[in-house]
Chain A
Amino acid sequence: MTLLLSIGIFGIYSAALLAIGGVGFTLQFGVTNVLNLAFGSLLTACIFIEYGLTGHSTNLWVAMAVGAASGALISLLVGHVVVGAFLRRGATGIGIAMVTIAISLIVQFSLEAIQGPFIFAYTASTPSTFSIGGVVVSSSQLTVIGVAVVAMVAVHLLLRMTKLGLAMRATAADVSLTRSCGVSPARTRAAAWLLSGALCGVCGVLLGIGEGSFSSSTGSDFFITLAAAAVLGGIGKPYGAMLGALLIGIVSQAAAAVISPSYKTIAAWLILIAVLILRPQGILAEFASERELVA
């Protein structure tokens, strides 16, 4: 019983982290139609920037604000400027994949060159712990879950209640029709890169604080699990990513608890491969893969 409860609680905690990053990743893909394989490296960059700027005096809200701002900025630079330039030159699928991977290598190994291959830890605060039915949970993990819920509600309201959200959903559905309605696709895409980067930054900071330590490869490892959540839910669908995050979070915690901790990530990655092979459109929604890539 305690085992099930702990799988449930830590599954929801993993899902909370995955949902924040996964929604950012998938939303940007839906609007811009670019699969950003550098997302994981950007996530690490956000952790390092936040750690460098605010350091050990971890006021969570300041840390998240710094992470979100830096993430939005880098994401706009990398996605809208660099990838956008390649798209305007007519680069296609495999070319864009190589561009984002090259960016990912540059960012990840620049961080390693600057910071060294060390593991950094948030040492200042020893989080208080609670016991829920025999399962010990730290306050920072509960905070992560709380922030994720707030962020998901905020994304929902943005998509459903604002002009920008409407423009994003419209661009994801049909670019030319959206353009003929007087919405600038370029501006909407820039907004998507910004929003995705901000969520990436929040996710990175929470990941660093929740896990307590990080290194220059944290983001790239986490990214694959996050991509599994996004793909499982149907890539480009923010609500699908939330559902996918919940499933992946619980399955990976179950694999860690039942088989061995080293299978926590492998389980998620196997799900990703299986979904890509068997049902690349994800468990939700119709397929929108035949859209062409445009800047």
Chain B
Amino acid sequence: MVYYLSGLAILLGINLIAIWGLDLHFGLTGINSFAYIVFQAVGGYAAALTALKPPAAYGSFETYVGGFNLPFPLPLVAAAAAGALIAVPIGLIAMRRLRADYQAMAMLVLSLIATGLANAQTKLVNGPAGLALIPQPFAGVFTLSRDGYNWIFLGLTAVCCVLAWWVARGISRSPYGRLLRAVRDSESAVSALGRNPNALRMSVLITGGALAGLSGGLLVEYVTAWGPSSWLYPETFLFLTALIVGGRGNLAGGALGAFLVPILIVEATRHLPAFGYPGLIDSLDWVAIGAILLAFLWFRPKGLLPERKRVFRPAGGGPGAARPRAGLAGGRVESP
């Protein structure tokens, strides 16, 4: 039971990082990030390939490139870096001035092509069978029970979560974050004020991509296996549903969504007494996620914790003007 709960807490942390990254893309900047799972997948592969020993060390039962056998923090760094790098080609597609629904389709296809390539190129990451036996951090350093190791990994996840929170909160509260919101709400105003919306989009794609990559790296190190069937395109909509349910554009909303959707609906039901054929509960989970997404889009599109309205009022001006805050130029303040 303790093992189960600490495992759930680890998965919650991993999902939290991923959902905050998606919130930077979709919630804050309004980028159509329907291929988001690819960032996580690439991060996972980067962590796996840097942590594994060369294929020959395992009797060559799987084939892949790399296998650098790097010590603990480096695979996670590689994961975040890979997530940031893949943002560049994905960003070039996300930048195109397409209708939102065309772009959604382009992103879905991108996600499918990535899966198709991972399946077709068996030499690259072992094809459809995926990678296994990925070494965990500190493997062999401590001799710990299964439960004890989970606590160590939970600590590591918590550190990564705090890091992700610090990055996302810093961006969200900074002038840069205000610019990103402006890209979402009125792109032409951003252009008119002399900022380049596409450069802003690309920068946030890279930051959010790094968070997704980090979450992928953690996930792979925790479950020690990674294959194309772990990151099929619907997984993006797991995160997206979590964000819509919790409330996009604010960190608390993302956190609530991370708890409600991937943990409460997907992970918790995985341990129900099995009924029907194998995989039935998974299928029902996906039906529930689709239904929840539809229901929230209809009844509460802003989510359970809506993003607070940010209104600019002249300082000391008309009724309801906010108290001026020190350090803000131009006599305009942002009311809380």
Contacts and interface: CB of A to CB of B under 8 A. Distances in A.
A101 B239 CA distance: 14
A263 B120 contact: yes
Interface in B267-311: 277, 279-280, 283-284, 286-287, 289-291, 293-294, 297-298, 301
Nearest to A113: B283
A21 B157 CA distance: 47
Interface string A2-21: 00000000000000000000
B328 to A, nearest CB: 33
Contacts of B198: none
Nearest to B234: A105
Given A113-B283, A260-B120, A263-B120, A273 B110 contact: yes
B96 A276 contact: yes
Interface stretch (A132-140, A165-173, A264-272): A264-272
B301 A95 contact: yes
B101 A93 contact: yes
Interface in A264-295: 265-266, 269-270, 272-273, 276-277, 280, 289
Contact of A91 (B244, B284, B297): B297
Given A99-B297, A105-B237, A37 B108 contact: yes
Residue from A96, A102, A260, A265 having most chain B Cβ neighbours under 10 A: A102
Given A99-B294, A263-B120, A93 B287 contact: no
Interface string A104-128: 1110111011001100000000000
A98 interface: yes
A258 to B, nearest CB: 14
A108 B108 CA distance: 16
Nearest to B128: A262
B100 A93 contact: yes
Instruction: State the majority secondary structure of interface residues on A.
Output: helix
Contacts of B108: 37, 101, 224
Nearest to B104: A97
Contact of B240 (A98, A109, A112, A266): A98
B283 A109 contact: yes
Given A95-B297, A277-B93, A109 B286 contact: yes
Contacts of B109: 224, 227, 269, 272-273, 276
Contact of A270 (B113, B277, B279): B113
B106 interface: yes
B29 interface: no
A117 B294 contact: no
B74 interface: no
B100 A92 contact: yes
Nearest to B122: A262
Contacts of A272: 105-106, 109
Contact of B101 (A97, A106, A260): A97
A113 B287 contact: yes
Interface string A70-103: 0000000000001001100101111111110111
A152 interface: no
24 contacts: A82-B294, A97-B100, A98-B244, A98-B293, A101-B108, A101-B237, A102-B290, A104-B290, A105-B286, A105-B287, A106-B291, A108-B286, A109-B284, A110-B287, A112-B286, A113-B283, A113-B287, A116-B280, A117-B277, A269-B109, A272-B105, A276-B96, A276-B102, A276-B106
Interface of B: 32, 34, 92-93, 96, 98-102, 104-106, 108-110, 112-113, 116-117, 119-120, 234, 237, 240, 244, 277, 279-280, 283-284, 286-287, 289-291, 293-294, 297-298, 301
Going nearest first, the 6 A-B pairs with the smallest beta carbon separation are A93-B100, A105-B290, A97-B104, A106-B290, A109-B286, A35-B101
Given A97-B32, A99-B297, A112-B279, 6 more contacts: A93-B101, A94-B100, A98-B240, A105-B287, A269-B116, A277-B93
Interface of A: 34-35, 37, 82, 85-86, 89, 91-99, 101-106, 108-110, 112-113, 116-117, 224, 227, 231, 235, 260, 262-263, 265-266, 269-270, 272-273, 276-277, 280, 289
